[in-house]
Structure formats: structure tokens, C-alpha cells
Amino acid sequence: MLPIRSTSNPKILYIDDDPVNRTLVNRLLSSYNFSVLEAKSGLEGMDLARQETPNLILIDINMPGLDGHETTTRMRSVSTLETVPIVAVT
């Protein structure tokens, strides 16, 4: 089981450049009462993660520009994000 901090509607940030994937994952997670935040790039995901501090981050590995590996590395250097679970979705 993932170590998600207890909240009534945990926030999940999903980062993926594919709009179809974002829609699908958003609908699925929302149906389980998760609050879903979406970002279409690594940079957008970094900004949103800093602003919102999600309980879990799902990230696509293969994205143009800042890919999932580099985004994850950068997120780990942000003190408020260093313990947030990050799961690669590819």
C-alpha cells in the first residue's frame, strides 16, 4: 500500500503529455473520490506540485522536453516534495 497522507480527498498529480491518457486517468481516479490535478509537461508538473503539494504524483516517463526521469530528480530536490510518492506510468 502506498504511504498516502490521510485526507478526505487525497490529491493526485498526473503528469502526461498525452491528453487522452490524462482524461482517462482523471476519470478513473475521480470515480474513487481522488482530487486529480493534471499537467501536460514536466515543467508544468513541477510548478503545480510546488503550488499544491499533492499526496501522490503519477508521471509519464517518455515526454518531450523535461522527461519523467529528470522531472522526478528535480522534484526530489524540493523540500516539500522529497517525501511525496512518485510512481512512473508508461
Domain assignments of the chain as residue spans, ordered by start: 11-89
**Which band of pLDDT confidence, cut at 50, 70 and 90, is reported for residue 90?**
confident
| CA–CA separation, 38 and 45 (whole Å) | 8
Q: Tens digits of per-residue pLDDT, 57-79? A: 999 999 999 999 999 999 999 99
Domain 11-89 sits in CATH at: 3.40.50.2300
| CA–CA separation, 59 and 76 (whole Å) | 14
| CA–CA separation, 5 and 80 (whole Å) | 13
| CA–CA separation, 7 and 71 (whole Å) | 25
| CA–CA separation, 21 and 78 (whole Å) | 27
Who contacts 76 (Cβ-Cβ below 8 Å, separation ≥6)?
Answer: 82
Q: What is the pLDDT of residue 1?
A: 46
Q: What is the pLDDT of residue 67?
A: 96
Question: For the chain, what percent of residues have pLDDT higher than 70?
Answer: 92
Residue 21, pLDDT above cutoff 80 = yes
**Which band of pLDDT confidence, cut at 50, 70 and 90, is reported for residue 7?**
low
